[in-house]
Structure 1
Amino acid sequence: MTFSIAARDEKGAFGVAICSSSPAVAARCAAVRPGVGAVCSQNVTDPRLRERLLHLLELGTDAEAAVSQVAASEAHIEYRQLSAVGRDGAPVSFTGGNALGTSGAVEAANCVAAGNLLAYEGVPKAMTVAFERTAGQPMARRLLAALSAAIVDGGEEGPVHSAGLLVAHDAPWPVVDLRVDWTDGDPVSELGALLDLWEPQQDSYVQRGLNPGGAPSFGVPGDE
């Protein structure tokens, strides 16, 4: 019921894009941490697993060892699907034997895509190809391109209703955290519309946090 991509780029950004038939998928399944990594915990989700993965990555554990440690210590791991990308080393995935429907993952040099209840087994590969093909673009745009490629390649078996986009870079918090928690329309297109709105203002909101005295006004009442 979910497909996702976790990635890093040469500028030090980490990001996740995710889409599902379930509501509020990003709130439960995706996480990033500046300077540390990007992770997903999906398929009969336990949100605690993403926090454990990020904690291990922050301690300096590489993605392969982090995923292995979490998988070895999780009692219900056969129901879980994990993805992790750290500062160094290869991106890594794990898919338990009880993953729903057609499931799988593809690991590339700087990203890993995974999914379950997929319409077609090639969906994760379509995501990694789209991410790699858009090298040089901002991380958020590359991740959105990967989600769009997944939709074009079939996406899930049924209709999708939620999507999310997270990017960590240049601030001690995620600089992009956009979510479509439920729609009967096209969550990926709606996520793209949110990114179009957010992107021109992103740096100004970072400036508000880091240097409020020099931050620009947005012209709303009481905002000077």
Structure 2
Amino acid sequence: MTFSICATVDGSHGVAIATKAIAVGSTAPFVCRKGAVCTQATTSTPLGVRAVRALEAGATVEDAVESQLADDPDAAVRQVHGVDAGGDTVAVTGSECVPVAGDLEGEGYTVAGNMLESADVLAVMADTFESSSGEPLDRRLLDALRAGEDAGGDKRGEHAQSAALRVFDPDDPRLAHDLRVDEHDDAVAELERIHDLATTVGNEWEEAYPRANVQRYPKRNSQ
């Protein structure tokens, strides 16, 4: 059904996700100034919203996610994973998620998937993310998503039907993205095309209007 990656690098947080269903970007990936969370399998948008609100309030990602699942009667069919600004991770795959289903946690990132062609999808995504150290977070997330697609991705079809990339950068909104492909016969390829276009246009805007229209987020006092 779905394969995705959450990560945090140098204060930026992001999610990339693809699935054989429509409009995944509107329901599954969530980012904020304190981390990133993705909810899938039996997706719960309210769970994702509450989890990132808990992150913003100072909870660790593990507490934010597990506190939501603890009172969820459908936790067995949920898959939720994410990272927080401190680099902590959590990944939960419910016991009744459709196989192949699973998750992996690495340093500052998580990958998860269900109804996959094989478990190799997750391993390849993790390896690709780790091997791209030094590249921008948005590019690393997209490369990992591409690797998952090429490794077989969703077992229901040759290509994902929808895909999304969300990145939060606390210092410069121009480096953030909220890109979605709601329905396409090759959604990951289309997401890559849109990302390349957004990056090109952003660079051209910066050259024409340096430092224009940039509002840095105010730093919050620690509680």
With the shorter chain as reference, the TM-score category is: 0.7 to 0.9
Distance 1:26 1:135 in 2: 25
Q: Which residue matches 2:26?
A: 27
Q: TM-score, normalised by structure 1?
A: 0.87
Q: Deviations over 1:145-184 (max 9, x none)?
A: 0001101211110222111111100356982011111012
Q: Which residue matches 2:96?
A: 98
Aligned-partner residue type, residue 198 of structure 1? A
Q: Deviations over 1:163-206 (max 9, x none)?
A: 1111100356982011111012x211111110110013336489
Distance 1:110 1:89 in 2: 5
Distance 1:131 1:199 in 2: 20
When the two structures are aligned, how many residues end up with a matched partner? 208
Q: Which residue matches 1:42?
A: 40
Q: Taking structure 1 as reference, are residues 180 and 150 closer, same or farther at Cα in structure 2, changes over 3 Å only? A: same
Q: Which residue matches 2:13?
A: 14
Distance 2:179 2:133 in 1: 21
Q: Which residue matches 2:178?
A: 177
Q: Which residue matches 1:69?
A: 67
Structure 2 segments unaligned to the other structure (5+ residues):
217-223
Distance 1:101 1:89 in 2: 28
Aligned-partner residue type, residue 16 of structure 1? V
Q: Which residue matches 2:165?
A: 165
Q: Deviations over 1:63-89 (max 9, x none)?
A: 222222111121211111001210114
Distance 1:173 1:30 in 2: 19
Q: Taking structure 1 as reference, are residues 120 and 207 closer, same or farther at Cα in structure 2, changes over 3 Å only? A: farther
Q: SS where residue 56 of structure 1 aligns?
A: helix
Q: Taking structure 1 as reference, are residues 192 and 172 closer, same or farther at Cα in structure 2, changes over 3 Å only? A: closer
Q: SS where residue 17 of structure 1 aligns?
A: strand
Q: Give % identity.
A: 36
Q: Taking structure 1 as reference, are residues 134 and 55 closer, same or farther at Cα in structure 2, changes over 3 Å only? A: same
Structure 1 segments unaligned to the other structure (5+ residues):
212-224
